Amino acid sequence: MSISRRDLFICAAAGVALPRAALCFSPREITWDDLIPPGVPYSEIIGEGEMDEANDLWRPVFDSNATKLNPALNGALIKMPGFIIPLETTSDGVTEFILVPYVGACLHTPPPPPNQLVFVKSKTPWPSDDLFGAVWVTGFIQHELQSTDIADIGYALEADKMEVYVW
């Protein structure tokens, strides 16, 4: 059996194209700093703040930089680490949550600025008995400013994959 030049060329072209196609679907690994637009220092996001004496809470005052989002991330396939603040839980686990940069954010401390929070809907519920460890979340991130009872949020992500973050 002999292979024609045409068939050989098609096989070679496919061998070159397939690895490139696979790279198109590899998520970009990002950190929390990547959520802030280039040129906006973190120190310029949080303003003074005020003490809520009745509830014994510090309420930070965010300036306009807190809602500035990184345009390069809108619609991007990303993978990022964080911690879960559950919003929607079923018997199978957590299906909607806020991804936060550190343990206790939004619960025991004032919330981070909106451009440091990600609202996540998970296709596969995350077990609710494993909420204090860090996780990797992979999916397409979008700009979506929204308010919840817990915090104002700048990004939204539909999680295609979640896994335990290993240090």
- pLDDT of amino acid 64: 87
Helix (H, G, I), strand (E, B) or coil at 164: strand
Helix (H, G, I), strand (E, B) or coil at 28: strand
DSSP 8-class letter at 2: -
The pLDDT confidence band at residue 19, using thresholds 50, 70 and 90, is very low
CA distance 76 to 28: 8
- pLDDT of amino acid 150: 87
CA distance 56 to 155: 29
Is 150 exposed, middle or buried (CB count within 10 Å of its CB: 0-12, 13-18, 19+)?
middle
pTM of whole model > 0.85? no
- pLDDT of amino acid 3: 61
Q: How many residues does the chain have?
A: 167
**Which CATH superfamily does the domain covering 28-164 fall into?**
Protein of unknown function (DUF3299) (2.40.50.870)
Mean pLDDT of 134-160: 95
- pLDDT of amino acid 12: 55
CA distance 59 to 45: 14
Is the model's pLDDT at 28 over the cut of 50?
yes
Contacts of 132 (CB under 8 A, 6+ apart): 83, 103
The radius of gyration of the chain from alpha carbons, rounded to an integer in Å, stands at 21
- pLDDT of amino acid 60: 76
Q: Mean pLDDT check: name the lowest of 35-39, 42-46, 62-66.
A: 42-46
- pLDDT of amino acid 15: 54
Contacts of 61 (CB under 8 A, 6+ apart): 46, 47, 48, 49, 50
Span 77-127, pLDDT tens digits: 999 999 999 999 999 999 999 999 998 787 767 789 999 999 999 989 999
Q: Mean pLDDT check: name the lowest of 61-75, 100-114, 118-132, 136-150.
A: 100-114
Residue extents of the structural domains in the chain: 28-164
